[in-house]
Amino acid sequence: MKVKEIAQVFNEYSDFFVVQNGKYLPGDRTSFFLDCELEIKEISIGIPDCLIIEV
């Protein structure tokens, strides 16, 4: 599954972070990642209502 596919499912104001090689990519909302083609390796739940996606 790609990041953009999961980003489309969540509210545009949801906290949404993408981590690549241990570093957070710029952006903290789903709207930043609607065109992101990176493949998801793992999904974690941070603090309530916060999704962390590892690519």
Tens of pLDDT, residues 1-55: 999 999 898 887 788 899 999 999 998 888 899 999 999 999 888 777 788 888 8
List the domain range (segments joined by +) for residue 42. 3-54
Q: In this predicted structure, what is the pLDDT of residue 26? A: 94
CA distance 52 to 55: 10
Q: In this predicted structure, what is the pLDDT of residue 41? A: 95
pTM score over 0.85: no
Per-residue pLDDT tens over the stretch 9-23: 888 778 889 999 999
Q: How far is CA 49 from the centre of its chain?
A: 12
Reduce the DSSP state of residue 7 to 3 states and report it.
Answer: helix
User: How many structural domains comprise the chain?
Assistant: 1
